Structure 1
Amino acid sequence: LTFRNSYSENIDSISELISSVYIAPIDSILLDETYGQQSSIIRGAITKAESNNNEFMFRSMSKVQTKRTINRHWVEWHRKFTLSFACLIFFFIGAPLGSIIRKGGMGMPIVVSVVLFIIYYILDNVGYKMTRDGVWIHWVGMWFSSFVLLPLGVFLTYKAMNDSVILNADAYLVFVKKIFFIREHRNYPVKEVIISPPVYSEVSMKIDGLNNDIDAYLKNYKSMGYKAYWFDEGQDLQFAVVRSKLEVILSSLSNSINGRVLDKAEEYPILISSLRPFKAGSPGAKILAYALPIGLVIRLVSLLFERRLNNDLLKVKKLNNELQLITDKL
């Protein structure tokens, strides 16, 4: 307690001492000098301020230059690895392209190679400048082009191993036709040599079986719910049976020499292969089913294909009846 009391008394005495000291304003100190001394003091202050400013600017520029020098060293360090890795990437891009591009002779491969090299050059320069200026971390900038082209190399290698036709214009043309509901038409010209002509009585029996399968399919799957669309494997199986039987009948009729039969066969629509991107009940279908935003959008789009398929099946039934009337008279 004695210490605390003495401590508080000392604080009070120090406060009184400070308050009693007179501190002259800075302006009054300057004004007490003569005009020549005031001018000299002001010039000295300005000179010192400018000197400090120049020193700070020099140190800042020196720091920036030092940083750029360090970045350039990192650039060269990473370049020793990125160039070697880029050679491997271009190998895994060029080799698959050689097997995928099958048309155009030497022209098409050269064009694709030049385009890919230009893309690599642009990406590499962007990463280099970003690293040199310190905008990106050095390893991100120098490996930027490799990060972009590596997935392309893996993708092309995978497609080449599976004998893909990703650079085939005909494949993209078929895809565009599917998107815009552009139909292809069947063509059954009269053959000059026929090895096995169709037996119309057997064809008529197959048509009856096909009509029954179409009726069963439309009864079960004319309108599917969200869950049935993704998980009901029966739809794929039953539709595959209908599609297979139709193609067998038309393949048999293509050997006919009767013009009316061939004309009627050409009126049959080409049925779509599937209503969904994955087989029902497969892991891919289950993932999309539970990913509601994506799965719901795909399901809404598939309603257009589902309606088209149902109309095609009804048209097939109608053509079957008309074809039977023709074959019964032969």
Structure 2
Amino acid sequence: MAEWLYEAGIGEARAALVSRGRIWKARIEVDDGGPRVDAVLRARLVDRSGERTGKVALDGGGEALVEPLPRALTQGAYLNVRIVREGIIERGRLRLPKAVPSDDPVRAGRDLAARIAASGLPVRMLRAHEPDALEEAGWSEVIEEATSGDIAFAGGFLRMAVTPAMTLFDVDGPPPHGPLAVAAAHAVAQAIERHGIGGSIGVDFPTLASKTERNAVADAIDAALPQPFERTALNGFGFLQIVRRRARASLPEAILGDPVGHAARALLRRIEREPPGGATDYRVPPAIARRLTERPDWTDALARRTGRAITFIA
């Protein structure tokens, strides 16, 4: 039976949808990731860059891009906005959240715990003193996929690459290329779901001369990837494009957008799960030491959870 595993970690929450002993969806939500999807916030228009578009300053800090703006709204005016896409860090640079004007009252967006609870599937809350159910299901392997982009499947191999424009999958494997491409289509669909990938997605399949084989690949995508999405046909060069709603960063984007923060939080997770009486001094790379110094709330939480004061040495 499928169930969500949920872990309220230090600095981030983690969740995995597990069925038949494997992870089908993996999600990470950082605690300082900005306003969430469907949050309604009070905002002030600070820059009208076009007839219907502009930038607003959000109450509580941060900015967002808003479209469509009411024509009569002037710079400096206040309005409520609803977040439709969260902020995404791309190569160290923040892509601002997107929002639309809203008549709804101010409210917070649902966090990861609330979203998985709303799925209707059972949710198992994990504790650090318990056996590591995430690891048993393959959490580290999924994180390795997200960071390296290397994804193996029966009969072939995918290479996933995240770019500001789209997420790309390159298919590799031995002939015959027709069955390889169909198997790869299923693997791509599973990877998209597993890593929560939205927006524009490109897949470079082996070149298939037969229209029947190309249609079989497109049919495999349709069968394996849940709606809603749009796609092109598989062209004669082996390229197919998929477009899905992009509400927040995918797992690879969340990790690669802030690799130091991800590594620091993963380290805290490992220390939290150590048996009582563990070490109190840890040597870490300088970048991680700086991040932990910048986030005393993380190290304070670690001390509360482990019952010991821990020092990180660069």
- TM-score, normalized by the shorter chain, greater than 0.5: no
- The TM-score with structure 1 as length reference comes to 0.24
**Larger strand fraction of residues:** 2
TM-score where L is the length of structure 2: 0.25
Larger radius of gyration: 1
